[in-house]
Amino acid sequence: MIISTTSTLEGKTIKEYRGIVFGEAISGINFIEDFTANITNIIGGRVEEYEKEVVNARADAVNQMVKRAERIGANALVGVKIDVESINQYGSMIMVVATGTAVIVE
């Protein structure tokens, strides 16, 4: 599966548009990691606990989007966009949504 943030693929011709597909992942961080992250927030530095969750959730969302594109016969995704949002007041739960247009390319 070719995945691109652009609307075209250099050297490829889009033959058919199959539609918009999505992938979603909601991920929470456990209490101990959240506590450690809050300490890092106070003293400064990178919050690796959250970074790992974002990386994993993003991969899950993209994989889900790819599977949905494959189910409708696509062999590429164009115009891909990935959004990451905190979904609770403490920031310990994140939602990642991957969106793209499923296409068939030659």
pLDDT at 88: 73
**pLDDT bracket for residue 50 (50, 70, 90):** confident
Instruction: Indicate the domain borders of the chain.
Output: 2-105
pLDDT at 106: 93
64 closest CA partner among 17, 19, 21, 14: 21
Average pLDDT, the chain: 87
* pLDDT for residue 46 is more than 70: no
The pTM score is 0.82
Residue pLDDT, tens place only, 55-98: 999 999 999 999 999 999 999 999 999 999 988 766 678 899 99
- CATH domain 2-105 topology: Translation Initiation Factor IF3 (3.30.110)
Q: Tell me how far apart the alpha carbons of residues 95 and 100 are, in angstroms, rounded to a whole number.
A: 17
